[in-house]
Amino acid sequence: MIGPVIDAFAHDLGLTDFSWSRQQGVAVFAFDRRGTLYLEEHSQGLLMYLSRNVDAREPVRARLSQALRLCHYQHNWPFVVQVGLREASQLVFLARLPLTEVTLPALEQALALLTRLQDQAASAG
């Protein structure tokens, strides 16, 4: 059961009133600088993705190229990481956590990794 783990994660983020049982399988957390974090339960585990707006005025080609390079399997990240664009205005990094790996330390590690990847992609733009 991942509910108690996600509740503890939300509590550590300062959301003391959060309850996974009220989220119907998807939770969204908006941060000022980090972006928007989504947690989505699926049959084999948890999808955790972090999106940030891409400024239409910035040259995005370098940022997108860097984002794709960051997701290459040779980086040997602790989670399977993918990247994509949402509505052509948001860069999204996604980590897949198998059900057996959904623990509080894993969620914290995944959030740190997704934040780092967003920061590194942004520095290329």
Q: Are 50 and 36 in contact (CB under 8 A)?
A: yes
- Pick the closest to residue 3 from 74, 11, 60 (CA basis): 11
- The number of angstroms, rounded, from the C-alpha of 119 to the middle of its chain's C-alpha atoms is 12
Give the domain CATH number at 116: 3.30.1460.10
| pLDDT tens, position by position, 61-117 | 778 888 888 998 888 999 999 999 888 788 999 999 999 999 999 999 999 999 999
What are the strands, taking DSSP E only, across the chain?
A: 26-31, 35-42, 45-53, 80-86, 90-98
pLDDT digits (tens, 9 = 90+) for 42-65: 989 999 999 998 876 776 777 888
The range of the structural domain enclosing residue 71 comes to 2-123
Helices (H), 39-89: 60-70
Number of domains, the chain = 1
